[in-house]
Amino acid sequence: MLDEVPNRKVPMPTILFAVPALWPEYRDTLPAALAEAGIADATLVTEARPEDVDYIVYAPASPLQDFAPYTRTKAVLNLWAGVERIVGNPTLTQPLTRMVDPGLTEGMVEWVVGHTLRHHLGMDRHILNPGHVWDPTCPPLARERPVTILGMGALGSACADALRALNFPVTGWSRTEKPGQLHGEHGLRKALSTAQILVTLLPKTPETENLLNADRLALLPQGAAILNPGRGALIDDEALLAALDVGHIGYATLDVFRVEPLPQDHPYWSHPKVTVTPHIAADTRAVTSSRVIAENIRRGQAGEPFLHLVDRQRGY
């Protein structure tokens, strides 16, 4: 008869919260989420010896830049959806996850739907009407206003679903082949050619930088509106300004920029056909993102695959 093996309690992990500036937002929400996930006894700290750390909660603004000493660390859990500022770090050999947060997704959907409706309905003509012009021109119905979304990941797919629910015909384009979506250069040209409203939700990678250059902007229908809540580097700024000046692009609403905050002397601020929003289209919410972090730690402790694992080759 085999001897019975006594139950051994799995040691609780040490979690380093490596973003001091964000700690006040997570001081209460992250312990609560860890308790919900069944790991209430975890050690959650803002400072620790590298050899004691099992998980690192991270954001690119963190002072931690050298991951080499963290030999015990099972994963680096990013609080942001974007990972371009960390994925190329040569000292990062641990698994890296990105944030796919329900609260962030909801915020993005609201921003995209709100500004799509703004341009579709021509709201600015009535809100900004200093001459008190009586113009009873009605917009077309949503089903007559084609929208294209570049980037059909979690955020793009959620925005597409919301717009389709309002009867907008939505064309999706992805860098890689996905069922029901256009892809590749031929697919991109086709997607741009019908886009009366274009939404860019791609990550920043070497392949996506300046994706919307002068040649591709010229493929858009005359008077098209561009919404960019994705990454500033997706658009060639000089090419966009030129297309706006000649009237080929009717309007651009931009939430992300190559340099943030956007410099006060940047021409976007004063251009009559540009709206600048200060990187507010989507934000990581502490309550919902804490649950995502806690679930990934639970998975790591249970030996299960991490959620939202970053592909280092693709860059996201």
Positions annotated as catalytic residues are: 231, 279
Is residue 51 within 8 A of residue 71, CB to CB? The reply is: yes
Q: Are strands 224-228 and 197-200 parallel, antiparallel or unpaired?
A: parallel
Is residue 201 within 8 A of residue 151, CB to CB? The reply is: yes
82: tokens are 């974007």
Distance of CA 250 to the CA centre of its chain: 25
Q: What DSSP string describes 175-200? A: SS--TTSEEHHHHHHHHHHT-SEEEE
Is residue 160 within 8 A of residue 149, CB to CB? The reply is: yes
232: tokens are 């500033």
Is residue 57 within 8 A of residue 294, CB to CB? The reply is: no
Taking the C-alpha atoms of residue 74 and residue 35, their distance in angstroms, rounded to an integer, is 20
